[in-house]
Amino acid sequence: METSEQRVKIAVQKTGRLTEHSQDLLERCGLKLTRSKDRLFCYGENMPVDLLLVRDDDIPGLVSDDVCDLGIVGLNVVEEKLLICTPD
């Protein structure tokens, strides 16, 4: 049996414009997902990949803190985080 350390965790926006597109992209790549009862976690049935469904503003921090291995965000979130991290 696989441990959670062997599974890739991807943070995805739980609601919004990118939610459906992100999940569709991963499913077109062959990933079959099962949602948890709380609908905040999707388990990859056929690949060691799981999705965490979170607020889009939280995704960069989850990746930065190594809670998730990858994150899918819009350009607006990337630009906002770059502005915060760029010294004056």
Q: d(Cα 79, Cα 1) in Å, to the nearest integer?
A: 40
Report the pLDDT value the prediction gives residue 87, as an integer from 0 to 100. Answer: 61
The residue extents of the domains of the chain are 4-85
Architecture (CATH level 2) of domain 4-85:
3-Layer(aba) Sandwich (3.40)
Q: Residue 76 — very low, low, confident or very high, per pLDDT cuts 50/70/90?
A: confident
Q: d(Cα 31, Cα 29) in Å, to the nearest integer?
A: 6
For the chain, what percent of residues have pLDDT higher than 90? Answer: 55
Report the pLDDT value the prediction gives residue 66, as an integer from 0 to 100. Answer: 94
pLDDT in tens, 26-42: 999 999 999 888 888 99
Structure tokens at 73: 């965000």
Nearest to 12 by CA among 44, 48, 59: 59
Per-residue pLDDT for 56 more than 80? yes
Question: pTM value?
Answer: 0.79
